[in-house]
């Protein structure tokens, strides 16, 4: 079946640039399945937060000018726990002032309710990721209920460890007893060393094939309908057929081998890691070996010059293992 797939078209609107920003390499958890070097805790935070914010604005302006991007989906994410970043509040407050930015955070939810109370007003969405080795489930549920009651679009994401399956299923069941009916999803862990989809039994794959384990009430869904993009791309095949694809569909079908395909990662999805380096979301080199760093005082000059050549790239990797990356627009050249 894989050889028949010849094009993927993302459902992300063409005016949107999606950026995943890892603001810190410090995490208060140490999950055994966490990918290497994701939270070494060795990088100093940039002190020049005003420069960092201005550099983000430069990046937004360049993408507006060159690619007609008018909306920026900025996800503060880990490795490293983004809510531990000391500049979280300042950054989130300022970054929306001059551009159309939708702020999402992916967090282990370990911060106090007081911390969430001070930061929730700047956020558009929060995904609370649940890690079976470290979760305080009662606190996790209180945070979920609090954010839901603040009318934030929130969801819980249970990382299903195939080696601790029953424990993970029990946590999902416990979450279902929360006061508020926030969405609960369960996903396999496939982008970490030592685990891939082949580590899972068929029964486990069937469990995560339907990722949604609890649906919020219809009124809540309607209010946040823009964020419930169930289908993330359309897959097209040699015989002219097409099918909508969600979340882990490519990985579960083992249709995630795109080496030498033409990929739109530089135009659709960027990643900014905790030392400030800007790359394609899969760490693809989209700047032809230039080190583009958003923490740098000279970012403005460097980025405007180098970004001029930004265009789709040939996929340099054997396998595309990160869920959002599988849905980026790409095709056999
Ligand atoms: S919470 Fe996330 S970043 Fe922290 S150790 Fe676990 S998987 Fe890694
Ligand atoms: S690994 Fe990167 S370059 Fe390759 S298809 Fe996935 S997103 Fe595109």
Of the listed ligands, the closest to the CA of 128 is 1
What global pTM score does this model have? 0.90
- Domain-by-domain residue ranges, the chain? 14-228+265-306
Pocket of ligand 2 (CB under 6 A): 258, 261, 263, 265, 280, 282, 284, 315, 317, 320, 325, 328, 330
What's the token pair of residue 31? Answer: 């999950």
Helices (H), 150-189: 165-175
Q: CA-CA distance, 297 to 54, in Å (whole number)?
A: 10
- Cα 48 to middle of ligand 1, angstroms: 26
- Contact between residue 84 and residue 26 where contact means Cβ atoms under 8 Å apart: yes
Which residue of 310, 325, 327, 329 sits with most ligand 2 atoms within 8 Å of its CB, as the best mutation to test the pocket? 325
Listed residue (130, 80, 79, 82) closest to 103, CA to CA: 82
Atom of ligand 2 nearest to the CA of 258: 5
Selection from 203, 152, 208, 144 nearest residue 175 by Cα: 144
Q: Which atom of ligand 1 is nearest to the CA of 79?
A: 3
Q: Which residue's CA is the nearest one to ligand 2's atom 2?
A: 282
Superfamily (CATH H level) for 14-228+265-306:
Aldolase class I (3.20.20.70)
Max CA-CA distance within the chain?
Answer: 56
Cα distance between residue 293 and residue 31, in whole Å = 28
Helix (H, G, I), strand (E, B) or coil at 272: strand
pLDDT tens digits, the chain, 333 residues: what are they? Answer: 445 899 999 999 999 999 999 999 999 999 988 877 778 888 877 778 999 999 999 999 999 999 999 999 999 997 789 999 999 999 999 999 999 999 999 999 999 999 999 999 999 999 999 999 999 999 999 999 999 999 999 999 999 999 999 999 999 999 999 999 999 999 988 766 666 777 889 999 899 888 889 988 888 888 887 776 667 899 999 999 999 998 778 988 889 999 999 999 999 999 998 889 998 878 888 887 777 899 999 999 888 877 777 889 999 999 998 888 999 999 998
Ligand nearest to the CA of 80: 1
Instruction: Return the best residue to mutate from 281, 282, 332 for the ligand 2 pocket (most ligand atoms within 8 A of CB).
Output: 282
Q: Which ligand is nearest to the CA of 330?
A: 2
Q: Whose CA is nearest to atom 3 of ligand 1?
A: 79
Tokens standing for residue 124? 């558009």
> Which ligand 1 atom lies nearest to the CA of residue 35?
8
For 261-287, how does the pLDDT look when each residue is reduced to its tens digit (9 = 90+)?
999 999 999 999 888 999 887 888 888
């Amino acid at each position: 079946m894989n050889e028949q797939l010849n094009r993927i078209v993302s459902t992300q609107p063409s005016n949107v640039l999606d950026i995943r920003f890892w603001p810190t390499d410090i995490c208060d958890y140490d999950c055994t399945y966490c990918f290497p070097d994701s939270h070494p805790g060795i990088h100093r935070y940039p002190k020049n937060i005003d420069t960092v914010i201005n550099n983000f604005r430069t990046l937004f302006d360049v993408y507006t000018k060159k690619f007609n991007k008018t909306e920026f989906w900025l996800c503060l994410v880990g490795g490293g726990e983004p809510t531990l970043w000391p500049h979280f509040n300042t950054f989130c407050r300022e970054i929306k002032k001059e551009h159309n930015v939708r702020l999402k955070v992916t967090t282990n939810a370990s911060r106090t309710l007081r911390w969430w109370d001070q930061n929730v007003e700047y956020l558009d969405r929060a995904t609370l990721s649940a890690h079976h080795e470290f979760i305080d489930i009662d606190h996790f549920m209180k945070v979920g209920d609090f954010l839901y009651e603040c009318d934030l679009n929130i969801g819980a994401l249970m990382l299903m460890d195939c080696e601790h399956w029953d424990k993970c299923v029990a946590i999902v069941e416990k979450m279902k007893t929360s006061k508020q009916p926030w969405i609960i999803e369960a996903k396999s862990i496939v982008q970490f060393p030592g685990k891939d989809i082949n580590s899972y039994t068929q029964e486990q794959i069937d469990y995560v094939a339907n990722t949604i384990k609890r649906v919020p009430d219809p009124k809540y869904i309607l209010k946040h309908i823009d964020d419930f993009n169930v289908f993330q791309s359309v897959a097209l095949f040699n015989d002219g057929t097409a099918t909508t694809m969600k979340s882990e569909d490519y990985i579960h079908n083992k249709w995630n081998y795109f080496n030498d395909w033409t990929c739109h990662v530089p135009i659709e999805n960027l990643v900014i890691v905790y030392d400030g380096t800007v790359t394609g979301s899969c760490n693809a080199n989209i700047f032809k070996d230039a080190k583009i760093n958003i923490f740098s005082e000279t970012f403005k000059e460097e980025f405007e010059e180098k970004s001029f050549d930004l265009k789709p790239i040939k996929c340099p990797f054997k396998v595309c293992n990160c869920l959002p990356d599988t849905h980026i627009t790409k095709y056999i050249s």
